[in-house]
Amino acid sequence: MTGVQSVHAALGDFLTSPTVHTALIVGGFVAVVTGVVGVFTVMRGQSFAGHALADLGAVGGSGAFLVGISQLWGFVGAGILAALLMELIGIRRIQGRDVATGIVFGFGLGLTALFLYWDTTIGDSSNAAVSVLFGSLFVIDPGVIPTVVVLSVLALVIVVAIYRWLLIESLDRDLAIARGVPVRLAGILFLVALALAVELSALTIGAILSTALLIGPAATALLLTRRFGVAVLIAAGLAVGTTWIGCLVSYESYYWSSRHDNWPVSFCIVALVFVTYLAVRAGSALRRRSMSAAALRDGVPTAETAV
């Protein structure tokens, strides 16, 4: 069998697997949401809040294991409650938001540790910690697809509805207030959309790793373009691409050793996000250096020589 035939056979096997179908559908919708919301998160300087919401969602995920309900609702319920609580405590000042996030974050991690302990000792769910903290697209129940789609669309509708408010506030908060933008309402609605994106991501690649899918593609897109709308589209495309390719790499890794173990799909996705960001970052630095060298040759003042 030639190399081309081997690749064709491998892709055919990958694309005909029902497990893969579920992973690609769920992962695709979640990736679009995290890519879009991620750009606003980076622009608004709320990356830490996104990370905190992911870890706080683990409280709901581990609690869902304990009481025997869907892990998805545990993640989403805890995430939205935490988002509203953080906004309620620290709404007046940006510094206050950081303090509120830290307080709620620390308490949530303690609850997660307690629930995971009970999951193991009382609920006899030995895989609860791995599932909640690291996730796996290949073990997701196909029955959650409609719910994931609805929640993804809901998050996107919220972002689209307050797009102009978010755009103006992200660029200049004082200007937004002067132009009559309801910044508090915009902040609350954005936190709800952020919580939905983060918790859906936590369901797919785990609570600990979900921030990578939220921040990585967005940060990469903002290196590639300064146009906000274009950055949103690029971030969504990068998130979907890394998620789907990560699924393929994890699936094919089964054949790479005699042990026939799949590499964790969450690791494959996060690794691709990381490598993509580093590559674009390095390319951006080389391009700036090349432009500076060309400007020096032409006698054009640069940021360094103009001081």
Could you report the per-residue pLDDT of 20-46, keeping only the tens digit for each? Answer: 999 999 999 999 999 999 999 998 888
Q: What pLDDT was estimated at residue 96? A: 54
Please give the Cα distance from 229 to 144 (Å, whole number).
30
Q: What pLDDT was estimated at residue 86? A: 76
Any idea what the Cα angle at residue 206 is, between residues 29 and 38, rounded to 5°?
50
Retrieve residue 273's tokens. 């996000």
Q: What pLDDT was estimated at residue 290? A: 84
Residues 50-63: tens digit of each pLDDT = 888 888 888 888 88
Helices (H) and strands (E) counted in the chain, each on its own, are 13, 0
Please give the Cα distance from 63 to 99 (Å, whole number).
25
Better pLDDT: 82 or 242? 242
- Please tell me whether the overall predicted TM-score, pTM, comes out greater than 0.75 for this model: yes
Radius of gyration of the chain (CA): 21
User: Mean pLDDT over residues 228-255, rounded?
Assistant: 92
Please give the Cα distance from 226 to 221 (Å, whole number).
9
In this model, does residue 230 exceed pLDDT 70?
yes
Any idea what the Cα angle at residue 74 is, between residues 70 and 79, rounded to 5°?
150
Q: What pLDDT was estimated at residue 260? A: 74
Retrieve residue 306's tokens. 């103009």
Residues 248-307: tens digit of each pLDDT = 999 888 888 777 788 889 999 999 999 999 999 999 888 888 888 877 777 666 555 554
Better pLDDT: 299 or 197? 197
In this model, does residue 98 exceed pLDDT 70?
no
Residues 6+ apart with CB under 8 A from 185: none
User: Mean pLDDT over residues 213-231, rounded?
Assistant: 92
In this model, does residue 90 exceed pLDDT 70?
no
Mean pLDDT of the chain: 84
Q: Which listed CATH number (3.30.420.40, 1.10.3470.10, 3.40.50.10800, 3.40.50.620) goes with 3-298?
A: 1.10.3470.10
How is the chain split among helix, strand and coil, in percent rounded to 5? 80, 0, 20
The residue written with tokens 């020589």 in the block is 305
Q: What pLDDT was estimated at residue 218? A: 94
